[in-house]
Structure formats: C-alpha cells, structure tokens
Structure 1
C-alpha cells in the first residue's frame, strides 16, 4: 500500500481487526461443519463494515478503494467466504456512489448505516441462449413484479436486498431490480454444491411475483463503468487473503512440528533448510500477489475519481481501460501463484496435515474456485490484444448456450 494511504488505513483497520481475529478462530470448524456465516456477518454489520465506502459526511467510513480491498484481503485471510459473500453489496454501494446525489441514494445509504446488506442475483443456468434473460420484471400499480430463477446467488442468504439482473416486459430493456428478501415471494436455497467457497450463500434464488418498490428498477446501461474490474477485484483481494492464510499456516505448522524424517536435514523441522525454502517460496508468492492486487486497486480509484470528470469522455475512457487491464493482469498472477502456493504448502508439512480436522485443503479448493470465475485465459487474451493492437478490453460479458 502506498504511503499516502497507510496512516489512515491503519486507523481504519484497527476498528475491524478484533473481529477478523474472532472470524479466524472459527473458520476451520465452520468449514468442517459447513456452518453458514450468519454470526460473522452480524459482527461485521454491527461494526459498520457495510458502510466502508459511504462518505463520512453521509454517515459512512469514507474508505478509498485501495483501503476497501486491503480490508477485504485481511478479512479473507480470516475466512475467504466472507469477502465473496459481500461482493454484491460493495458493488451496489459503488454504483450508488457513481450516481448523482438524490433522495434515492440517501435512502440506500441510510439502510446500509442500519446494517442492511445486498446480495446478488445475476446468473441463470439451464437451457437458455447466449445473452438471454429469463427473469422478468413487470410494471404493476405502485411498483413492479419480479419473476424468475437465479443461481450463483452469492450473498443472498445473508442479505436484506438482492441486486437482480432482469428484463422489463414492457420495453425489453435489461435492468437491475433491487428486491427485498423479506417477503415470501423470494426463496433462497442453500444448494451451492461447489467444492470450494462453500459458505458464500451462492445457491438458487426464486422470485415468484416478488414485489419491487417503484424506484428500485435501474437501467443496466447506467451501471458504473468500472464494474467488471470492481467485481474481479473482490475475488483478487480474496485470493490475496488466501495467500496470507497459506503463508501463515505454513509458518505455524513448521514452527510447531516435532516429528522429523531420518533423511531430513536437521534435528528440528524448523531448522531444516529445504523446509524453510518451501515456506519462503510460499510466503514470497503470497507477498507478490498481494502487492500486485493492491497496486491495481489504484487504477480503480482513478476510475472512480474521474467518473464525472469535467475533462470529458477521453479521460474517463482512459481510466476505465487502465482499471480493466490492470485487474486482468493481477488476475493472471493471482490465479497462478495462489493455487500453486496452496499445493506447495504440503511440501513443508507432513502427511498428518492432510487430515480433515485441519481442513488445510480448503485453501486450494477455495483458491481454485475463485480462480475459475471470469476465465483467466480470456483475460490473458484481452491483455495481449491491448498491448499489441490497442484493442479495448471486454467490460461486460454474458453466458449461455452456444449454437
């Protein structure tokens, strides 16, 4: 982190580090028992974590984007499920920050100060064509009805609102409909069956003519322009936090290990040169990823600061290209090195450390799951196309069945 942000960051982080310690203390047991995150989420809400990006003048904590993502890295070191579960919330807050001041924006900030959170409902699975949106929002008297089904609904189990990607039935436009979870017409299932990130609340959400308040339908074309890079950075910060946890567990495991091999290099494992080399390699990879990810957050901050730049479209476009390209470069580094570190960890430990009771396999499973989001091979191509041909990166994409 740059010196310009460090003093303010330390003061901000001090507010949450005791909570991060509590979160970390129960992370292994939650993983083993598949215990959902209701209690840790409550701790964070009560401490105002959801208001990090809201300006101080409007009752929030006024964090910069580098500060936000560094805090998410610290939180991910404690439990990598939590930053991803809050991903949609911080993206929705960011979108409100990019909009002009209004009564609607102030109402949302008030809700977040009261501890309310936003979850995600964008992706659909099943037999749908590329780009097709089956979830529909229809105008009714004094509001809207929302009907459809989403999967990968990250964070919805813990949320008061869901940020839903839908299509209007009256004019066919793609929109965001923000729907309250506190109604029987919204059903959230804990049926996420991935091998990693098991506690993120990323299962199925069904909307059965759920009511949406009149002002809570927003045209998708008006979303903040650096949203793709922002969403990716939550995953990157989480990977950086997993790297920290791997480095921590490697060092602690070696320091406390008593059993040695007859063909080792020392009478204590913590003095074995080859084992120390492994720990050093893992720690270096983790440091490199965190440094890379944090460096890239500054281009996001620039995109935010120029989103309504008086200099015009050229400056805004340049800032958004930089944010997208740098997030893609960071993704290439993080996806490779953290998954490698999660496997290399066991070369410093012993067979006993593969026991389920220690749950050290979660680091690889979680990192591999996060690295599978937004395929890195296409990001590499985007970076290469930008470097060679000056082609703008892909900002928003869709998924569905091919021809």
Structure 2
C-alpha cells in the first residue's frame, strides 16, 4: 500500500574520500595513544573530545541540517577506520549513532530539528537499556513518573556503553502511569545521573560500559518517546557497529603483524631466509591476514547496504517495500555477524604464526586484538543469529526486531530428581 510520504531531507551519501580526509588525522592521533590507554586502562575522554569537535557525531545528519549527509555504508567505513586506530571508540559511540538514526527516521517536527542541531553542535548520546539485579525477562524496573510537576527517571542500568562520555543518555524505561515502554532521553548534566566505570571484561576495556544510576533524573516531556515508534532496523544497526569494530580489529591485527615482521632481526635456524621479512612462509601468513581483513571489511560494508535501503524506504510511501527492506537489513546484519566474527578471531590468532614467542610478551599487547574480538563477538549469540537466518530461508519466518535478556521463569521451578 502506498501513501503520500512526508518531505524529509535524506542522507544518501557524500564524497567518501573527502569525508574520511577530515577524520584520518584524528584517527592517527587516536592510534598513537591506543597502547598506553590499553596498558593503563584509561578512558578515552580526549579522543572522544577530538571526534566531537570535528563533527564526527553528525556525519549521518543531512547536509541541509548542517551534517555530512553520509550513507550508512559510509558511516561504517569510517567506523572501521576508527576501530583500526582504537577498537573501543566505535563501540563507545554505538548508542549515539543509534539515537541519531532514530531521529533521522522520525517525522519532521521542531523536536526532530532540535535533536539534529544538537548533533551538529557536537552533543553525544549514550545508552542505558539493560536492567541489573533480579529482573525477569520482559520486566522493566527503570521507571518514568511525574513528581512535583516534573517527569523524572529512577532506576539502575548496566552495559551503558559510551554514556560516561555523553551529554545525553537514551534510557529504556517504563511509564508508571500507563505501563508503556518508552525511551527517555536524559541529560547527563544533572545531579540525578551518576555513572560508573565498572565494566570488568577482559576485552574492550575502555568503552565506558559500566553502570548508570538515575535518581529522580529530570527528563523533558518532549524527550519521552514511545518505544513502539523506534526505527525498525535498530537491532541491525547496533550489530552493524560491532561488525565495523571486528573489521577494524582485523585490519589492526594485519597491520601489527606486518610491522612486527618488518622490524624483526632474530631468525630461526630452520627458516627460509636470512631475514624474516624475506621468508616466503612468513610472507604467506601476513598475506593471509590481510586477506582476512579485506573480507571482514567488505562483508561489514555490504551488510550495511540493506539498512540504508530501509532508511530510505521509511519515507518512500510503500509499506511493503519498507517491510522487506527491514527484513533484509536484519538478515544481512546476522549473516555478517556469523562471517565477520570468525574472520576477526582468525586474524587476531593467526598473527602469532608470523612471529616468535616474544610476541606473547605482555608489554607488546598483541593479545588485545583477540581479547577485543572475542568480547565483541560474544554480543548477540551467534547460534541464535544462525537460527534466524535459517528459519527465514526455510520457513519465511520474519526475524525478530527487538529482543531482551533477563531471568527465566523456569529457573524458579526446582529441578526434578530421578
């Protein structure tokens, strides 16, 4: 069924090389400090500030609103380049780009224009969706309510990735008055928001993925958005950011292997050349690493193309075309996850085949590539993504667009003994 679509300025693409040239010097500065941040577990406040000031958070905003007008595949190409410099940063910005995408999908309004202006001004958005504690699946403990004539948010979240760097937090909550699930866009510049750097994973250590506590945090009425209006391909987009991270890790692993081999002076007596960089077997290993990185990047960028179609279909006035584009976006991100996770884990392991035992010295931190890839690949279990793809291919079952994690009701039933 076709309807008259609203007139909306779309972000359909920019000159990628010109766009990337704006940020590559910043990416290079970020890469210079990556090892020290990893070694000392220092959060990247300064690199985030560099990106904010350069307008990185507004690359998806239409040109008519002051942004760069980049397409989604172009955004993910940029995130891959950033992830090669520091894999933590694209994940720290994951919530921001998802919220930007939601506002891009919103109908034209003064409220939408205000958000686009905030993005162009450099303001960043974090996210806080995951409940902590004894929460059953489907329950939402974080609440939005009215107190003394103001709307406030109360609750505690974990995995609030990037929120510690942000000006706003995209909070998944439930209205106490109606029971409706909503997104509350809460300003971090208030005493009612307290954030913690208590993420203790073995990888992606500086993404700022800790807890956020909301204690009567004020939220403006215009910033309480029905979750049902959220853009359809959101889960795909969240996953695409992680694919970009994995592709960037693959590139970094291939880069570090080549650099280490190039400078290596110690050889094995049973090697094939007087210098390791001339050893054909080592050249083969490094060549394979670069091929893995190439395939990971190509897959991640290709997986983003259906999401761009879904975005454009949102305003084309053809409901069936939009539905199919959203299905394609979800399936493409799932297929990409299955492939890119494997490529990144292989690249981050195989780089050691080009080097000696000295590559395992802790100070060199070459293990960070595997630790980061393993951590990212653990998001959204691969087996369930494969199942979604297979169910569509066999039965035409539409993939789920939203899913949750929480305590199982079955866990409350004592196990029967024989």
Q: How high is the TM-score relative to the length of structure 1?
A: 0.97
User: Is residue 395 of structure 1 aligned with residue 401 of structure 2?
Assistant: yes
Q: Which of residues 391, 403, 407 is equivalent to 1:385?
A: 391
CA displacement, residues 311-335 of structure 1 (integer Å, 9 cap, x when unaligned) = 2x21111100111101100000011
Please tell me whether the aligned partners of residues 13 and 71 of structure 2 are also in contact (alpha carbons under 8 angstroms): no
Partner of 1:325: 331
CA contact (8 A) 1:87 1:155 kept: yes
Q: Which residue of 1 aligns with 2:126?
A: 119
Match of 2:299 among 292, 298, 304: 292
2:40 to 16, 33, 44: 33
Any unmatched runs of 5+ in structure 2?
1-11, 411-418
Alignment check: 8 A CA contact 1:152 1:202 kept: yes
In the alignment, the residues of structure 2 paired with residue 390 and residue 113 of structure 1 have an alpha-carbon distance, to the nearest angstrom, of 41
Q: Does the Cα contact within 8 Å between 1:32 and 1:356 map onto a contact in 2?
A: no
Asked if 1:226 is matched to 2:246, the reply is: no
Give the count of matched residue pairs: 398
> Which of residues 43, 58, 72 is equivalent to 1:65?
72
Residue by residue over 1:256-288, the C-alpha shift from the partner in whole angstroms, topping out at 9 and shown as x without a partner, is 111001111111111112211211121111111
- From 88, 96, 110, the counterpart of 1:89: 96
8 Å CA contact retained: 2:204, 2:371: yes
Residues 182-221 of structure 1: pairs in structure 2 closer than 5 A: 182-221=189-228
1:152 matched to 2:159? The reply is yes
| CA offsets 1:188-242 (integer angstroms, 9 cap, x no match) | 0000000111101100110011111121100100000010101100000111111
Q: Which secondary structure state, in structure 2, belongs to the residue aligned with residue 357 of structure 1?
A: helix
Please give the root-mean-square deviation of Cα atoms over the aligned residues, in Å. 1.2
The answer to whether the 8 Å contact 1:149/1:204 transfers is yes
- Structure 1 residue 100, shift from structure 2 partner: 1.2
2:402 & 2:14 partners in 1: Cα distance?
A: 35
Q: Distance in 2 between the 1:176 and 1:109 partners?
A: 17
Matched, 1:346 2:352: yes
How far off its partner does 1:304 sit?
A: 0.5
Per the alignment, do residues 155 and 327 of structure 1 end up closer, same or farther by CA in structure 2, a change over 3 Å counting? same
Query: Structure 2 residue aligned with 1:238, among 245, 248, 261?
Result: 245
Partner SS, residue 215 of structure 1:
helix
Over 2 Å off, 4+ runs? 139-143
1:170 partnered with 2:177: yes
Match of 2:156, SS state, is strand
CA offset at residue 126 of structure 1? 2.1
Question: Could you say what secondary structure the match of 2:131 adopts?
Answer: coil
2-side partners of 1:388 and 1:252: how far apart? 46
User: Shift in Å at residue 7 of structure 1?
Assistant: 7.8
What residue in structure 1 maps to residue 413 of structure 2?
A: none
In the alignment, which residue of structure 1 is the partner of 2:416?
Answer: none
SS for the counterpart of 2:160 is coil
Give structure 1 stretches of 5+ with no counterpart.
none
Displacement after TM superposition at 1:6 (Å): 9.4
Output the TM-score relative to the length of structure 2. Answer: 0.93
Partners of 1:225 and 1:274 lie apart in 2 by 48
